[in-house]
A and B are shown apart, each in its own frame.
Chain A
Amino acid sequence: LAKTTQPISMDSYEGQEVNITCSHNNIATNDYITWYQQFPSQGPRFIIQGYKTKVTNEVASLFIPADRKSSTLSLPRVSLSDTAVYYCLVGATNTGGFKTIFGAGTRLFVKA
């Protein structure tokens, strides 16, 4: 399984764009990149998933360079409610025995 490396924490202010980068140097050909958000005392919540280039949904954008050895989660105009831990995961989606392994995550703190 590809190991991921993320910053331990980040601070931002309301209204700013936040970019969280994840390194995954040994990503495999079949691996997708998935990001989750977790609030205290809740389970992680799926945010976005991608394989290459750029993916955008109503919550975030995900940028993946051509070599796929890193990815960047972009949160536009963050608010106080975006304060959470963000996890980057890498793995194949088409295998039944797929183990979802979480790293330490990035703790984002949004200030007023």
Chain B
Amino acid sequence: DVKVTQSSRYLVKRTGEKVFLECVQDMDHENMFWYRQDPGLGLRLIYFSYDVKMKEKGDIPEGYSVSREKKERFSLILESASTNQTSMYLCASRGTGVGTVGTFFGQGTRLTVV
């Protein structure tokens, strides 16, 4: 089974802190994604990466950056955490190729910014 592992299940950070959320996948997938999920807003795409050192903005990239130095690892960075970034953050990965089946998600990191 594909495994997508996020480094923390719960985090509490202070306003203004720099926050790193780490994600590792073990299936050699090319594509990795970061979403945030908020009640009533569903899952929204923050950034995605289709190769090492490659990244593209999703729908809500403001206030975030990402890093993909190795194929298996995709990091989300909150440069200066704010209370409106309190959310559930989900990392995902998927392969590339005709008939690639599904996007696989981690368990999520519930981040609270106080």
Contact = CB atoms under 8 A, between A and B. Distances in A.
Contacts of B51: 96
B88 A100 contact: no
Interface residues of A, number: 24
Interface stretch (B12-20, B65-73, B90-98): B90-98
A96 B30 contact: yes
A79 interface: no
Interface in A53-112: 87, 93-105
A104 B100 CA distance: 23
B91 to A, nearest CB: 8
A45 to B, nearest CB: 7
B105 A43 contact: yes
A44 B43 contact: yes
B99 to A, nearest CB: 6
B33 to A, nearest CB: 6
A100 B50 CA distance: 12
A51 B90 CA distance: 26
Interface of A: 32, 34, 36, 41-46, 49, 87, 93-105
A-B pairs with lowest CB-CB distance, top 10:
A43-B105, A46-B102, A96-B50, A102-B43, A93-B100, A94-B98, A100-B103, A97-B50, A43-B90, A104-B42
